[in-house]
Every structure is written in structure tokens, then in C-alpha cells.
Amino acid sequence: MRIRALIIRIIRQFVHDKRTLALLILVPLIVLSLINLIFDGDTYQPKIGAVQLPDPIAQNLVRHGAEVTVFDKAEDAEEALSGREIDAIVRLEGGAPRVMLEGTDPARNRAVMAVMQAAVQELVSAQSRTEAVPLPTFDYLHGGADMSTFDSLSPVLIGLFAFFFVFLIAGVSFLRERTSGTLERLLATPLRRREIVAGYTAGFGIFTSLQAVLIAGYAIDVLGSLMTGNFGYVLLIMLLLSLTALSLGTFLSAFAHTEFQMIQFIPLVIVPQVFFSGLFDLESISPWLRWLSHVTPLKYGADALRDVMIRGEGWSAIAREVYVLLGLALAFMAANVLALRKHRKI
């Protein structure tokens, strides 16, 4: 009887806690659906720019799954490659194909190499030539042949770890301030809501900034992650990403009553951002789903970090991402001020 009473109490607790029921039933289905849409997408078609390339080679590239764009001028192709509109440039030098890879994504590099080699081999076989096969040579705009997968993904990973831990720690800590009564006592003072939010943000921000600096420094100096740009820009992006996670975590903590409920936001807030942060190729995902990447702060931070660390870009390349992250952080802080109204009417 006592065991049955305990079982009944737990069942009633779950029935009345709609958020926990959703976490157990709906959220796993949503996450699995996202995984299915991402991994079951179309095969990636490498984008190749052709400069004065014979038609038979260009046609073979298309036949093997490449998306070929013909450029009349080499300067136009190089501009498209620098702007990441294409993955590689192909031209003939001394009778052999010469390929310039964009270089920042090893998976795309391999796709271009496979398509290029298959197209050349097919052309040679069709012509029944007996001389040596003119194998293509490959150059890199960014990175190089020795760039590892970790070098390519480290900008995304350091941004992800900083965002995740700051979001979780800030949300739980702010929740404890509220459940312990500290926040209510502060709200009873002449302090304005915006002053409270600014104070908490600055206080937590000191430690989250230290964490961001340590993560970036450890990945670059100790683990040897590729770093070709200005380390100061890396720190700026990491600080803004941490500030965004901090303001978002404190805002969402207003809608949680326990630490467990705060943790429930992870599959809803963090997991989708992982899928759209750059760890997976978004080009193979359906366009109707791809738009979600534009509303995820982690995507902007990862793109900016990749521009600096791998491509060696400067302020002009990351300015948009920096302003977006700053705007998101300020928007979440403003929302946090409004959320405090539920604790004190002013």
C-alpha cells in the first residue's frame, strides 16, 4: 500500500507538471526529427568555378555531381571563391587541371577532389589515351592539405562550449537568487529593474569572460588549433557570445521554478543551435529548415570565429556578426527587465 501510494504521488506530480511531460515525450521527438532532416538531407553538390576550362571536363564535372559556374575572368572567380560562393576554381595549366580550393571545410575539399579526379579519369578513358594521366593539382586559399578536422571545427566547438556552460550556470545561479529570496529583497529596495539586470550581468560577466578567454586560449595555444587572424577579435567574439548566453540564461530562468526546470531548456535552446552552428553542412538541408540558422546566436558566433581563426579575416568580415550578437544580448537583457515585473509591480 505504501509503495502504491508513492507511485500514485509520482504519477500525479508528473501529470500536473506539463513541462516535464513535454520534456519526456515531445522534446525527444522534435530532436530526433531535426536529426533526421539534417542527416537524411540531399548529398552535397560541390560548387566549382570553371575558368577557360574545356567543355568536356566541365561536362564531366556536372555529370559527377558538381555544380559548375563558368567565369570569363579569373578575377571574378577568385572573388567568388573569397566570398565562399563557390568551393573551388578549376583551370588548365600546362595541359593539367589546377584546382584552387577554398580550404576551410575538409569535407567540401574532399568532395571537390573526388569529383575532379573522377571527371579527369573518365575523360582519359573515353579518349583511350595511353599516356600518363594528367592528375589535377590542388592549392588552398585558406588552410592547407594538413588542416585537420579539429582545425575546421574548433571555432564552432569553442563557441559552443562557452555558450552552453555560460547559459547553464547563469540560468541556475539567477534562479537560486530568486528562490532564495535574494532577488525579492533587492526588488524591495529603490533599485530599478534595469539596474538589477545590469548588476547581475556585470557580476556574472566577469567570470563568464574569464571562462571565454581560457577556452579560446587553451584551444589555440595548448591544443594547437589553427589561428591565422587577430586573437583580439577572437576574444571580442567570445565575450559577446558569452554575454548573449548570459542574458538569455538569466531571462529564461524567470520561467523556471527549480534547477531541473532550468535544465529542461537545454534541449529546446542549446540542441537546435548545435545543429545549425556549422558542425553540419547546412547546404544539404532543405531550404525551409535552413532559415532557422538565422535566429541562432551560436551560428553568428561560430561564423565570425571561423572567419578570424581559419580565414584570417579582419573587422569588415565579422562586423555584421558582432553587431547581431550585441543586439541579441541587449534584447535579452531588455526582456529580462520586463520579466522581473512578475516579481514586483512598478
Interaxial angle between packed helices 231-252 and 315-339, expressed in degrees from 0 to 180 and rounded to the nearest 10: 20
**Residue 88 phi/psi, 5° resolution?**
-165, 160
* 233: CB partners within 8 A, 6+ apart: 304, 308, 314, 315, 318
> Looking at residue 284, what is its pLDDT?
66
pLDDT computed for residue 331 by the predictor? 92
- Which cell goes with 300? 553568428
Give CA separation, 215 vs 114, 222, 239, in Å: 35, 10, 11
pTM: 0.80
Annotate 189-218 with b (16+ C-beta within 10 A) or e (fewer). eeeebeebbeebbeebbeebbebbbebbee
Give the chain's length: 346
pLDDT at residue 328, rounded to an integer: 93
SS3 content of the chain, % helix, strand, coil (to 5): 70, 10, 25
Residue 133: predicted pLDDT: 54
3-state SS assignment for residue 93: strand
Per-residue pLDDT of the chain (346 residues), as tens digits, is 667 776 777 677 666 766 666 666 776 677 777 767 666 666 778 898 888 888 877 888 888 888 888 888 888 888 898 888 899 988 888 777 888 888 888 888 888 888 888 877 776 666 555 455 567 888 888 877 778 788 888 898 999 888 988 888 888 887 887 777 766 776 667 777 777 778 777 887 788 788 888 888 888 888 888 898 899 999 999 999 989 998 898 888 878 777 777 887 887 888 888 888 877 777 767 667 777 778 889 999 999 999 999 888 889 989 999 999 999 999 998 888 887 766 544 3
At what angle are helices 193-217 and 149-179 packed, to 10 degrees?
150
Domains of the chain and any CATH numbers: 47-140 (3.40.1710.10), 149-342 (no CATH)
**Could you identify the residue written with the cell 540542441?**
271
Cα–Cα dist 119/16, whole Å: 62
* 106 and 149 Cβ atoms separated by less than 8 Å: yes
Query: 242: buried, middle or exposed (CB in 10 Å: 19+, 13-18, 0-12)?
Result: buried
Outline where DSSP puts E strands in 17-165. Answer: 47-51, 67-71, 88-93, 96-101, 137-140
What's the confidence (pLDDT) of residue 241? 92
Question: What is the model's pLDDT at position 236?
Answer: 92
pLDDT for residue 39: 66
Q: Is the dihedral of CA 52, 54, 57, 60 positive or negative?
A: positive
CB 100 within 8 A of CB 116: no
pLDDT of residue 346: 39
